[in-house]
Amino acid sequence: MNPVLGIAGYVLREAMSRKFILAFIVGITLVLSVVALSLRLDVVDGALAASRLFGEEIRASIRSVDVALRPVYMVAAFIVFYGGILFGIVACSDFAPSLMSPGRIEHLLALPIQRWHLLAGTFLGVMALALGGTLYGTTGLVLIFGVKAGYWTAGPLIAGLMACVGFAAVYAVMLTTATLVRSAALSAASGFLFLIGGVIAGFRQEISSAFEDGLSRRIFEGVTLMLPRLSSLAQAAGDIAASRPLEVRSLEALLAGVLVFGLGALAVGFWRFEGKDY
């Protein structure tokens, strides 16, 4: 077996032994069940006549289903994007520090595998968890609204995949942090900081105007230029989920920027891990 896939499987077995995957599935299933049981949609000839959530009528005007559900899909995309990344930061912060804990790391390094296999396998295992959870949740959402409203769209699935791209960049930073300090708390803290930085980077032009023209503005623009524009990616995910025109100029450039940042962060982690003495 490929060593990277072997380590990824090791991470998944670790998640399974901690009942992490079971808790993950139960949590998502509960959320989907609440949405399915509490949402009532009255659809007549492709138009939404009325909608009720937890028994309360949301809006009475008659609109076509695809237009009426746009805000719902937009909100769902934001919840999947930011909620998924936040949950991933908290839930996955301990995997890498635990793998590098004294005793375990020496055992792993004694195996006939290279050091970069450990980091690449850990990253791949965590991303497999994130991808599996995202697909499960967004597929359930598509099925619920598809059955209730008769309107089918792959927008939420695509938005979920974009959330995974954003989380990949954030977790790359967390994994690199774990090679510097074997601390789950600091690993999670670095993830939170880069998530906030990524949100600010998406609004860098609007925020930079609040600084006086000079050194402080140039420093702000220089720092945020290097960060992934996660808030712009979340907005694009929401637009796709709601079948709206994209506000960003180039989705390809945005995704490439996030991926390049993540690969750069991983490269720093590989370099640091290769030179570390255990």
Output the pTM of the full model.
0.86
What's the pLDDT score for residue 52? 60
**Count of CB atoms within 10 A of residue 97's CB?**
21
- Find tokens 């028994």 and name the residue: 55
Distance of CA 136 to the CA centre of its chain: 14
Mean pLDDT for the stretch of residues 219-236: 89
Q: Which two tokens stand for residue 260?
A: 């390049």
Chain segment 244-256, per-residue pLDDT in tens? 888 888 888 889 9
What's the pLDDT score for residue 21? 73
Cβ–Cβ < 8 Å for 117, 3: yes
Looking at every residue in the chain, the average pLDDT score rounds to 84
What does the alpha-carbon distance between residue 196 and residue 104 come to, in Å, rounded to a whole number?
33
Indicate if the pLDDT at residue 58 is higher than 60: no
Give me the percent of the chain exceeding a pLDDT of 70.
Answer: 89
